[in-house]
């Protein structure tokens, strides 16, 4: 088997890390003997690629192949019209024949390079076995990406379906059961649709805790004896920064929450700076940028932490739901059932999380919130060229009819008003804890864990049990075994020149643009 991996770039980011870990996973399970050849095609940017990886691989001979036509349309200066030709020439020059090669393409249909879907289609027509791994969907709250694909489709009426070619030698990989259901409902063949969760590496070699706690105190004024809960993300909108700030106010006295990194996107930076400005006024036990340059490293933040927080409202895979246990830390905060369902079915206990943080409805101007949600949702539908349903107003009324609303349904302005109330009116903190007993229960368990051998043992049992499940189901070895099985299925697939577009691609939009999934923080 020869392996060709294709992605837009190798800069720091989730997909680059997945490619690295998949190569490590393969290297664990491939047979000894002549090393397998692997090429990684990318657009030229590689700031996040580990230069020593090729030397670490024992059963894979790895080579990086930059092709400028592969980069994002927004980053590339020249045309990508000859992308298919460049890929084909590079494969042929390397001796990667169609009948012995798997071409593993990451995120081909996300709308970052309008030529890549066409190149993928034509490679399949030439007999190459393809694995198209979907990490993110243009149909899922990425209207700009979707419109780029539509506007560059040269008027083809079936352009949307052609993003997801259906042929015997074209297989798809998804990160979770939700995405598998979405593609199946749209007409993807179930036998060529594979669940391929991201490999999870062990958390090893954490630095000495007393020294990093001293560093945390010196740099961020977090007392050495305080409980420190780390939220290891960039503070972009969908990470729900306001909810993390609110958690710091609801936690037991002596608890500090730290968010590690600022956003890179200038538009996101503006909102992030607004949160920092508000925090300077409120003075919550919350610290920004604890993992930024001049702060603590990722490993140091883990070592300094007592627990890990997540408040994200949307994820593609949800690595934090797995990694925290390997770091020997409890996980607290927001659950994402459509993402974590696979983990729970594998045996993971995520009972300490909740998919809602309830706020009394009378704390919010519901008329203004209703108008904001409807306006933003209609704007999103219009960007996708979709009409609003005739009963949309009734759906909005039903969504806001309860005595409580989910904090994650609010945008930054509404969230800031709620936090302001908690800061200025201390009794309201108790109201929120009463409405969300799972928070106090988790906090109480943490307090007891410091005082009670039984509680401490229970907490340790939960962490160790979850860690063992993660190692068994999602570590390098099982991930490599899954990947080899998928590659073998592709190599053994018949080669057919009949390629069809996905039959019902509109069903994907129906699923991802449902009103009950829409949140202002993703607009």
Query: Do residue 165 and residue 261 come from a single domain?
Result: no
- Per-residue DSSP letter, 255: E
Q: Is residue 51 part of a domain?
A: yes
| C-beta of residue 141 within 8 angstroms of C-beta of residue 512 | yes
Query: Do residue 108 and residue 184 come from a single domain?
Result: yes
Taking each helix axis from N to C terminus, what angle separates 412-424 and 427-435, rounded to the nearest 10 degrees? 120
Per the prediction, the chain carries an average pLDDT of: 94
| C-beta of residue 493 within 8 angstroms of C-beta of residue 350 | no
Q: Which residues contact 294 (CB under 8 A, 6 or more apart)?
A: 219
Query: Do residue 152 and residue 293 come from a single domain?
Result: no
Report whether pLDDT(445) > 80: no
> E strand or H helix at 326, and its extent?
helix 320-326
Query: Do residue 144 and residue 179 come from a single domain?
Result: yes
Report whether pLDDT(453) > 50: no
Query: Do residue 285 and residue 337 come from a single domain?
Result: yes
454 forms beta bridges with none
Q: Stretch 323-347: mean pLDDT, rounded? A: 97
Residue 155: pLDDT band with limits 50, 70, 90:
confident
| C-beta of residue 522 within 8 angstroms of C-beta of residue 141 | yes
Q: Is residue 235 part of a domain?
A: yes
Query: Do residue 39 and residue 175 come from a single domain?
Result: yes
E strands along 219-274, which residues?
Answer: 227-234, 255-261
Q: Is residue 285 part of a domain?
A: yes
Q: Stretch 248-271: mean pLDDT, rounded? A: 95
Burial class (CB in 10 A: 0-12, 13-18, 19+), 403: exposed
Q: What pLDDT is stored for residue 442 in this prediction?
A: 53
Residue 134 belongs to domain spanning: 2-199+476-503
Q: Is residue 370 part of a domain?
A: no
Percentage of the chain with pLDDT > 70?
97
Q: Is residue 68 part of a domain?
A: yes
Q: Which residues contact 203 (CB under 8 A, 6 or more apart)?
A: 302, 323, 326, 327, 328
Residue 451: pLDDT band with limits 50, 70, 90:
very low
HEC sequence for 336-376: CHHHHHHHHHCCCCCCCCECCCEEEHHHCCHHHHHHHHHHH
Report whether pLDDT(235) > 50: yes
Q: What pLDDT is stored for residue 190 in this prediction?
A: 97
Q: Stretch 411-417: mean pLDDT, rounded? A: 98
- Per-residue DSSP letter, 31: P
Domain count, the chain: 2
| C-beta of residue 110 within 8 angstroms of C-beta of residue 13 | no
Question: CA 301 → CA 50, 231, 308, distances in Å?
Answer: 21, 9, 10
Query: Do residue 64 and residue 180 come from a single domain?
Result: yes
User: CA-to-CA distance for 277 and 287, rounded, in angstroms?
Assistant: 12
Q: What pLDDT is stored for residue 113 in this prediction?
A: 96
Q: What pLDDT is stored for residue 120 in this prediction?
A: 97
| C-beta of residue 385 within 8 angstroms of C-beta of residue 363 | no
Query: Do residue 17 and residue 83 come from a single domain?
Result: yes
| C-beta of residue 197 within 8 angstroms of C-beta of residue 342 | yes
Q: Which two tokens stand for residue 252?
A: 């037991």
Query: Do residue 81 and residue 179 come from a single domain?
Result: yes
Residue 448: pLDDT band with limits 50, 70, 90:
very low
| C-beta of residue 261 within 8 angstroms of C-beta of residue 292 | yes
Q: What pLDDT is stored for residue 458 in this prediction?
A: 63
Q: Is residue 443 part of a domain?
A: yes
User: CA-to-CA distance for 461 and 456, rounded, in angstroms?
Assistant: 8
Q: Stretch 480-507: mean pLDDT, rounded? A: 95
Report whether pLDDT(450) > 50: no
Q: Stretch 268-283: mean pLDDT, rounded? A: 97
Q: What pLDDT is stored for residue 61 in this prediction?
A: 97
Q: Is residue 389 part of a domain?
A: no
Q: What pLDDT is stored for residue 449 in this prediction?
A: 47
476-487, pLDDT tens digit by residue? 999 999 999 999
Backbone angles phi, psi at 228, to 5 degrees: -120, 120
Q: Which residues contact 177 (CB under 8 A, 6 or more apart)?
A: 195, 341, 342, 345
| C-beta of residue 58 within 8 angstroms of C-beta of residue 84 | no
Q: What pLDDT is stored for residue 457 in this prediction?
A: 52
Query: Do residue 183 and residue 253 come from a single domain?
Result: no
Task: Check which CATH number belongs to the domain holding 10 and give it.
Answer: 3.40.50.2000
Query: Do residue 30 and residue 114 come from a single domain?
Result: yes
Burial class (CB in 10 A: 0-12, 13-18, 19+), 324: buried
Residue 444: pLDDT band with limits 50, 70, 90:
very low
Report whether pLDDT(6) > 60: yes
Q: What pLDDT is stored for residue 452 in this prediction?
A: 38
HEC sequence for 95-143: CCCHHHEEEEEECCCCCCCCCHHHHHHHHHHCCCEEEEEECCCCCCCCH
- 3-state secondary structure (DSSP) of residue 4: strand
Residue 13: pLDDT band with limits 50, 70, 90:
confident
48-107, pLDDT tens digit by residue? 899 999 999 999 999 999 999 999 998 888 777 899 999 999 999 999 999 999 999 999
Q: 50-59: long-range contacts at Cβ-Cβ below 8 A with a sequence spacing of 24 or more?
A: 50/20, 53/20, 53/23, 53/24, 56/24, 56/27, 57/23, 57/24, 57/27, 58/27, 59/26, 59/27, 59/30, 59/31, 59/32, 59/33, 59/35
Q: What pLDDT is stored for residue 285 in this prediction?
A: 98
Query: Do residue 469 and residue 481 come from a single domain?
Result: no
Q: Is residue 406 part of a domain?
A: no
Q: Which two tokens stand for residue 71?
A: 């980069």
């Amino acid at each position: 088997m020869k392996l060709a991996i294709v992605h837009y770039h190798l800069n720091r980011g989730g997909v680059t890390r997945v490619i690295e870990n998949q190569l490590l996973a393969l290297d664990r399970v491939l047979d000894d003997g002549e090393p397998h050849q692997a090429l990684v095609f990318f657009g030229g940017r590689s700031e996040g690629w580990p230069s020593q990886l090729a030397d670490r691989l024992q059963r894979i001979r790895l080579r990086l192949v930059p092709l400028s036509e592969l980069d994002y349309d927004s980053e590339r200066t020249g045309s990508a019209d000859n992308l298919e030709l460049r890929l084909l020439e590079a494969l042929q020059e390397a001796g990667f024949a169609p009948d012995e090669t798997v071409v593993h393409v990451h995120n081909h249909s996300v709308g970052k390079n309008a030529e890549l879907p066409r190149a993928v289609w034509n490679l399949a027509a030439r007999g190459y076995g393809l694995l198209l791994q979907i990490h993110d969907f243009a149909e899922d709250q990425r209207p700009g990406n979707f419109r780029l694909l539509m506007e560059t489709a040269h008027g083809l009426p079936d352009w949307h379906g052609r993003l997801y070619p259906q042929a015997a030698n074209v297989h798809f990989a998804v990160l979770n059961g939700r995405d598998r259901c979405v593609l199946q409902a749209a007409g993807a063949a179930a036998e060529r649709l594979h669940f391929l969760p991201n490999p999870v590496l062990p958390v090893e070699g954490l630095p000495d805790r007393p020294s990093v706690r001293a560093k945390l105190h010196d740099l961020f004024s977090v007392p050495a004896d305080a409980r420190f809960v780390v939220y290891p993300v960039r503070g972009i909108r969908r990470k729900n920064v306001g909810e993390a700030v609110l958690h710091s106010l609801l936690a037991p006295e002596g608890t500090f929450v730290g968010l590690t990194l600022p956003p890179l996107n200038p538009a996101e930076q503006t909102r992030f700076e607004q949160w920092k400005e508000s925090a300077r006024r409120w003075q919550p036990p919350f610290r920004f940028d604890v993992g930024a340059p001049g702060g603590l490293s990722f490993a140091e933040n883990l070592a300094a932490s007592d627990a890990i927080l997540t408040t994200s409202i949307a994820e593609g895979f949800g690595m934090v739901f797995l990694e925290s246990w390997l770091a020997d830390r409890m996980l607290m905060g927001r659950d994402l059932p459509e993402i974590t369902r696979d983990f729970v079915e594998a045996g993971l206990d995520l009972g300490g999380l909740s998919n809602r943080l309830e706020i009394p409805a009378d704390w919010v101007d519901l008329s203004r919130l209703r108008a904001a949600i409807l306006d933003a949702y209609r704007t999103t539908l219009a960007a996708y060229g979709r009409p609003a349903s005739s009963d949309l107003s009734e759906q909005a009324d039903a969504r806001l009819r309860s005595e409580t609303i989910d904090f994650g349904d609010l945008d930054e302005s509404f969230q800031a008003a709620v936090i302001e109330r908690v800061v200025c009116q201390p009794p309201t903190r108790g109201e929120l804890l009463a409405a969300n007993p799972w928070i106090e229960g988790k906090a109480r368990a943490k307090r007891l864990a410091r005082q009670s051998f039984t509680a401490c043992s229970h907490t340790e049992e939960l962490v160790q049990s979850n860690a063992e499940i993660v190692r068994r189901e999602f570590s390098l070895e099982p991930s490599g075994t899954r990947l080899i099985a998928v590659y073998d299925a592709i190599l053994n697939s018949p080669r057919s020149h009949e390629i069809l577009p996905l039959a019902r691609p509109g069903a994907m939009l129906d699923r991802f643009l449902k009103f009950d999934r829409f949140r202002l923080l993703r607009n």
